[in-house]
A = this chain, B = another copy of it.
């Protein structure tokens, strides 16, 4: 793999953009915690963990990207050290269950329904990541009918289940509320669909025959943007929902 200086730097700068976004959205969630009613603060705590874990992994991915290429004769050539994209899976194994939990917590479901839903969603999220990973390691198959396709299909089952369930729960929650809170519920539903939808498309890149340097660059840039929206952006929306609900319920910042 050979990259131009422009291609290498684009990925480099986008990874750095992700690091900054994750760290400072986390700082925001910590500092703005007391602006929402106490019962919603746990969602901001979970948001902080999500972006913190993501910041940690983006720092590692950044280091791996730097080590994987050397500048030679005006271009970046593979150094021999593999670029470790598997950090993304380790990250998702921790953050995706937390992302689902923070949404369910801010929705204020109660009792057995809450606990049952959290348990089911966390297990599904874990299965989604664990089943996708073996397929991700198979990079030489171009047919959707091979093992990469099979793992991808298995991983899609919990994926569809999670997105479908959250979409429905958010629809119910939006219908129960009015004004700003209802609008925010509908917006986060769209953000969820748009950002989550990006990952299966990247997974299928080899089936579309997308390869070579520009595809690799596009994938890394795409992942960075999707992750910032799905973690930091999503966390900010969770904060907005928590704030709007706190105001509806008469909470005044002390």
Shortest CB-to-CB span from A142 to chain B, Å, is 22
Q: Which of B13, B56, B80, B91 contacts A19 (CB 8 A)?
A: B56
Q: Which of B30, B32, B42, B60 contacts A16 (CB 8 A)?
A: B60
CA distance A28 to B91 in the complex (A): 17
Which residue of chain B lies nearest to A45 when distances are taken between CB atoms in the complex? B31
| Number of A positions contacting B (CB below 8 A) | 45
CA distance A101 to B122 in the complex (A): 30
Q: Is the CB of B24 within 8 A of A53?
A: yes
What is the copy number of this chain in the assembly? Answer: 2
A144 at the interface (CB under 8 A from B): no
Interface residues of A (CB under 8 A from B): 5-6, 9, 12-13, 16-17, 19-21, 23-24, 27-28, 30-33, 35, 38-39, 41-42, 45, 48-49, 52-53, 56-57, 60, 71, 80-82, 84, 86-87, 90-91, 93-94, 137, 253-254
